[in-house]
Amino acid sequence: MSNSSNFSFEFFPPKTAEGKVKLRATWQQLAQLKPLFFSVTFGAGGSTQQGTLDTVLEIRGAGQNAAPHISCVASSKTEITETLSRYRDKGIRHIVALRGDMPSGLASSGELRYANELVAFIRETTGDWFQIEVACYPEYHPQTRNPADELKNFKRKIDAGANSAITQYFYNPDAYFRFVDECAAAGISVPIVPGIMPIGNFLPTGPIFGCLRRGDSALDANQAGRLSR
C-alpha cells in the first residue's frame, strides 16, 4: 500500500481474553501498513472505559500511535474530567470526542448533551493539550432534520475547538465530496477524513440492510438497492 495518503483504523475494545488475543494479532498485522494512528471506541457512559484505555496503551507501548474515544452522553462533567485526566497522565494527546449513543433505559443524557459542548469542555479544562477529532455526517445524522442543520452542527464542533474530523461511513462518494465543498463554503478548513467500512458479508435481507432501507444509517433506499444488485 502506498504511503502517499494518511489513514487510520478503528477498533472496539475487546471484552474477553480471547478477544484481546484476536485484536492484538489484528492490529499487529495492520500496523505493517503504517497507519497514521489507531483509534479505540468508548462505550456510552464510560461502559468500556478501562478496556479502551488498556487497548490504547498496549498499542502505544508497541510504538504505534493510538487515540482513545471519549463520549459525553450519560456522563457527568466530573466523570469526563476524570477520564481526561487518566488520558493526560498516560501522555495521550490525541482523542476522538463524540456525543455517543444513549444507553437503553437511561432517562438522562448527562450534563453535556452534544459533541460541541464536549469539545468546548475539553478545551476549557485542558487547553490545547489534546488534538481533538470529531465526527461528521456527509449524508447527515438520523436525528438531524436536513443537511443545512447538519453543517451547522458540525461547524459548532469546529468553532468549539476541534482540530479535524472523521466522517460517518458512507457508500456514496458524491455525498462526501459535496459535504467537503459545503464545509469549505461555510469557512470550515479542518481536515475531513472519509470513514470507510468495508462490506465483508453483504446480506440483502439481513437486519443491517433493513436498517439502511429505513434510512436510519448512511444509505438511502436507492443506494441500498444499488448495493443489493
Active site (catalytic) residues: 10
Amino acid at 7: F
Residues 6+ apart with CB under 8 A from 201: none
What does the DSSP 8-state code read for residue 11?
A: E
Amino acid at 118: L
Count H helices, E strands: the chain?
Answer: 8, 7
Pull the grid cell for residue 106: 437511561
Residue 127 to residue 117: CA distance in whole angstroms:
14
